[in-house]
Structure 1
Amino acid sequence: MSALFIADLHLSDHCPENTRAFLDLLAGLAREVDALYILGDLFEYWAGDDDRDTPLNREVGEALATLAAQGTRIGFIAGNRDFLVGEDFARDAGLNILADPTVLDLDGRRVLVTHGDNLCTDDHAYQAFRHQVRAPQWQRAFLARPLEERKLMIEGLRRHSETAKQEKALDIMDVNSAAVDALLRAHDYPTLIHGHTHRPAHHIHHVDGLACERWVLSDWRGTATWLHWDGAAFSPGP
C-alpha cells in the first residue's frame, strides 16, 4: 500500500496559502495513495462540530469527503488545536478518528502514529493543561457553552499560549527522549511518526539494543509538506 502522512497545517482564514496547498494536495497527490493520515492540528482551532459550516470548514470538509468517496482512506488523530473534532464532522468529511497513539500495519511494517504533544513531558504546565482539556467531563461542559463564547475562550487561550511560549526554553517544548523510548518499548519497537514540535527530522533511537526510526513531520508554511510511504520506504516531500 501507499500512504501520505501530514500534520500541523493550522488551517485558518489568516493563512489562505495553507488552505490552498491542502486543497491542491487532496485533489492531486492524495488521490494517488491508498491512505492519508492527518496527525493533528489540521485546523488552527476547532470550537466544536457545530462550527463546521463556516466557509473554510465546509470547504475543507467537502474536499476531504470527495477524496474519501474516491477510495483514499483518511485517518485522523486530534492535535492540541483540534482535539474537539467530533463524530459529526468526521462522518461528513469521511474521516476515521484514530486513538492517540495508533499502530498501523504498512505492508508488514509496524508504524506508530501520534500527534506528539504527549511526548513533550518536560513542559509540565502544558501537560497539566492537556490532561484537563482531554477529559470527557471538561469537554462536555465546554461544548455546552454557546459557540461564540467558546470562540472567545479559545482566542484567549491561544493568546496565553503564545505568551507562555516566549517564556519557555526551546528544549522544554521538544519531545523528551525517555518518553519516546518508553513509547517505543511499550509498542514493541515500531517506526514512530509524529508532528507537533515543528522540527522536521529523521531520528534513530536505540532502545534495548534495537534501532527504531522516528520521523518528525513538518508544519506547513504556505506550501504542502508530507512523508510518503511507497510500500517499501519512507521519503519526505516535496
Structure 2
Amino acid sequence: MRYLFLSDLHLEAERPDITRAFLRCLDERAPACAAVYILGDFFEAWLGDDDPNPLGDQVAAALARLADTGVEIYFMHGNRDFLLGKGFCNKARATLLPDPSRVTLNGEPVLLMHGDSLCVDDVAYMKMRRWLRNPVSVAVLNALPLSTRHRIGRKLRSESQTRTRMKASDITDVNQQAVEAVMRRHGVRTLIHGHTHRPAVHELQIEGKAAQRIVLGDWDRQGWVLEVDQDGYRLESFELNGNGT
C-alpha cells in the first residue's frame, strides 16, 4: 500500500498558491494512496471550529471528497492549529490522531509526531506548549469570545516570530536524546515528523540497529510530501505552481 504524509502547509487566505498546490496534490497524488496523514500546522492559525472560515470549509470539502473515494484521512495537531477539533474533522471526514501515534505501514511500526514536543532545549516554548495543550486550557480558550481568541492568536504569533528570530537554530531544532528516547519507548526504527522546517532523512542507531528520522518540509517556497510504499520512503519537493519537481 502507498501512504502520503505532509505537514506545515500553514494554509491561509494570503497564500492562495499553497492552497492550490495542496488541492492539486489531493487530485494527483492522494487517490493512489490508502491514507493521507497531515501532521500538524495544516493552517497558519485555527482559532476554533466555530470561527467562520471559508478556506477551512473549502479544504474540508476537498478532503471529504477524497475520503468518499475510500482514502483514509488522518490529522494531527500542530502548534498553530491545536484548537482544530471534531467540527472540522467531521466536515473533512478525517480522524484526529494523538501526538505521538504509532501506526503500521506495510508491516513496519512507525511513530508519527508533529515534532514540537522534541524541541526540549527551547525551555520557554516547552513551558508555553504544556499550558496551551492542557485540556483545561483548550476548553477555556474555546469558551472565549471569537474576538478575544483572534486577539490572543495575533499576540501569540507575533511573540513566536520574535522569539524564533532571536534564538539559535539548534535551540529550535529537536533534541537528539529526546528523539532516541521516544523511539525506544514506542519500539520503532522510523520516526516521521514536521514542525522544524528542516526537511531531511537522518540516519541513526536505536539499540544498535539502523533507524531513521524523516523530517517533513514546510510549504513556502516549494511543497513537500513523503510517499511510503513497499519500496521504501521518498521525501520529495515540488514547485507550488506545478511546473516541476
TM-score, L = length of structure 1: 0.97
Look up the equivalent residue of 2:177 and give its one-letter code. Answer: A
Alignment check: 8 A CA contact 2:189 2:210 kept: no
| 2:41 corresponds to | 41
Query: Partner of 1:148: helix, strand, or coil?
Result: helix
Tell me how far 1:47 sits from its aligned partner: 0.2
| 1:50 corresponds to | 50
Moved more, 59-68 or 220-229: 220-229
Tell me how far 1:173 sits from its aligned partner: 0.2
Superposed CA deviations along residues 142-188 of structure 1, whole A, max 9, x for unmatched, are: 11111122011101110011111111111000000000010111011
Q: In the aligned structure 2, how far is the partner of 1:81 from the partner of 1:227? A: 21
Alignment check: 8 A CA contact 1:10 1:45 kept: yes
Alignment check: 8 A CA contact 1:189 1:210 kept: no
Q: Which runs of 5+ in 1 are unaligned?
A: none
| 2:186 corresponds to | 187
Q: In the aligned structure 1, how far is the partner of 2:222 from the partner of 2:32? A: 19
Q: In the aligned structure 1, how far is the partner of 2:105 from the partner of 2:188? A: 15
Q: In the aligned structure 2, how far is the partner of 1:45 from the partner of 1:147? A: 13
TM-score, L = length of structure 2: 0.94
Alignment check: 8 A CA contact 1:15 1:222 kept: no
Query: Partner of 2:50: helix, strand, or coil?
Result: helix
Superposed CA deviations along residues 19-57 of structure 1, whole A, max 9, x for unmatched, are: 111111112211111110000000001100102x42211
Share of identical aligned residues, percent? Answer: 46
Moved more, 110-119 or 23-32: 23-32
Tell me how far 1:224 sits from its aligned partner: 2.7
Query: Partner of 2:171: helix, strand, or coil?
Result: helix
Alignment check: 8 A CA contact 1:10 1:44 kept: yes
| 1:210 corresponds to | 209
Say whether residues 1:177 and 2:215 are aligned partners.
no
Q: In the aligned structure 1, how far is the partner of 2:210 from the partner of 2:122? A: 27
Q: In the aligned structure 2, how far is the partner of 1:231 from the partner of 1:148? A: 48
| 2:196 corresponds to | 197
Query: Partner of 2:235: helix, strand, or coil?
Result: strand
Alignment check: 8 A CA contact 1:18 1:222 kept: no
Q: In the aligned structure 1, how far is the partner of 2:146 from the partner of 2:26? A: 29
Q: In the aligned structure 1, how far is the partner of 2:166 from the partner of 2:156? A: 16
Superposed CA deviations along residues 92-146 of structure 1, whole A, max 9, x for unmatched, are: 1111101111111111111111000000000000000000000011111111111
Look up the equivalent residue of 1:155 and give its one-letter code. Answer: R
| 1:14 corresponds to | 14
Q: Which runs of 5+ in 2 are unaligned?
A: 238-245
Query: Partner of 2:170: helix, strand, or coil?
Result: helix
Q: In the aligned structure 1, how far is the partner of 2:195 from the partner of 2:128? A: 16
Query: Please, what is the CA RMSD of the aligned residues?
Result: 1.0
Moved more, 41-50 or 14-23: 14-23
Tell me how far 1:218 sits from its aligned partner: 0.5
Look up the equivalent residue of 1:164 and give its one-letter code. Answer: R
Q: In the aligned structure 2, how far is the partner of 1:54 from the partner of 1:203? A: 37
Query: Partner of 1:138: helix, strand, or coil?
Result: helix
